Amino acid sequence: MQQGITAQGLLKTIYYAFVPLLILLFFAALSSVFSYFILMMTGDVLSMRKLVSKAAQVFLLLSIFPLRHYLRLTWSDIGFAAKNTFLKQVGQGMLLGLVTLMPVMVVLYVLDISVIDQTREWSVGAIASRASLALLLATLISLGEEPIFSGILLAGLRKKMPVRLAVLITAGYYSAFHFVKTKTDIPFQELNLGSGFQLMAEAFSNVLNPEIISAFIALLIVGIFLATIRTQFASSIGICIGCHAAWVWQIKLGKDYFNTNAESEYYYLVSSYYDGVVGYLVAGWLSLVLISFFIWKRHRPVK
């Protein structure tokens, strides 16, 4: 009898682990059809590839509202605190993001993986302008991704399975999401109702691309890091948003003012496929941070 219950529980866990994929496929298909008809009405104003991608992201973000009601989750369950607390958490998260990624950026420079781009304008005004724009874009990215992954996805999975497994699955989806993309541009004159589905198939198959392995592992650890924050601190989505924003901000600024040196003997520490920062170095460093946190938590004095 116990074995039957265990097998049944395993099947349920597998089912719940794949439900997010089914939802993602549904919205990808919906965005494919939606994008086709939009382009048929507006003309050749945007590439089908970009429109399908952006539409799918918007649909995913909007799905938080019906899914929250379906799963009977409060905003606190998803991770949102009261307004003042939330804003304070965002600031704390940004500080955490700076502290946890800045050492990586420094090491990349010391190892000659990142080299200064001498062609850039290094005036105070130019740097301030680029930094402000990068921060705005980084914040928008984190506001879009964190409520989906560290928020509704993690909260939903935690209701159906052990926390550690929910964290791992959430991190897996978080990492894979960054590689669901295609570089194919279909000419407007050749578009048909199936074009979006063609792009969708190419985008999802890219997750199996062996060139993404180091970046996938690094983003998996990033996802575990963010999900750990959510599970270790109540209503802490603000910290995740701030931390994520600070990471993206530093990476964007790094790409603006530094070039990746493929001739460095330590080049293997970053992913040539991704952004020149994410890779084995990030994976190792954040893993060390996580291990240190749990060691501290286990041995901290009980008040």
Mean pLDDT of 271-284: 93
Residue 5, pLDDT score: 54
- Average pLDDT of the chain, as a whole number: 93
Q: Which band of pLDDT confidence, cut at 50, 70 and 90, is reported for residue 4?
A: very low
DSSP 81: -
Could you give the 3-state DSSP secondary structure of residue 178?
Answer: coil
Q: Report the percent of the chain where pLDDT is more than 70.
A: 98
Q: Which of 273, 257, 260 is nearest to 211 (CA)?
A: 273
Angle formed by the axes of helices 280-299 and 83-110, to 10°? Answer: 130
Structure token digits, residue 190: 């050749």
Q: How confident is the model at residue 245 (pLDDT cuts 50, 70, 90)?
A: very high
Q: Can you read off the two tokens belonging to residue 258? A: 């530094």
On whether the CB atoms of residues 182 and 199 are closer than 8 A, the answer is yes
Question: How many domains are there within the chain?
Answer: 1
pLDDT of residue 118: 86
pLDDT digits 0-9 by tens, 94-140: 999 999 999 999 999 999 999 998 888 888 888 899 999 999 999 99
The pLDDT of residue 120 is 83
279: CB partners within 8 A, 6+ apart: 214, 215, 218, 268, 269, 270, 271
Confidence of residue 259 (pLDDT cuts 50, 70, 90): very high
Checking if the pLDDT of 3 tops 60, the result is no
Q: What is the pLDDT of residues 287-298, one digit of tens each?
A: 999 999 999 988
Tens of pLDDT, residues 25-64: 999 999 999 999 999 999 988 899 999 999 999 999 999 9
The whole-angstrom separation of Cα 303 and Cα 301 is 6
Could you report the per-residue pLDDT of 175-215, keeping only the tens digit for each? Answer: 999 999 999 999 999 999 999 999 999 999 999 999 999 99
The reported pLDDT for the residue numbered 71 is: 92
- Residue 26, pLDDT score: 95
> In which domain, by residue range, is 175 found?
2-299
Q: Which amino acid is at 244?
A: H
Predicted confidence (pLDDT) at residue 173 exceeds the cutoff of 80: yes
In angstroms, the CA 156 to CA 73 distance is 8
The pLDDT assigned to 303 comes to: 60
Instruction: Look at residue 166 in the predicted model and tell me its pLDDT.
Output: 96
* pLDDT attached to residue 6: 77
**β-pairing, 258-260 with 114-116?**
antiparallel
Which helix H or strand E contains 251, and what residues bound it?
helix 237-257
* pLDDT of 2: 42
The percent of residues above 90 in pLDDT, for the chain, comes to 85
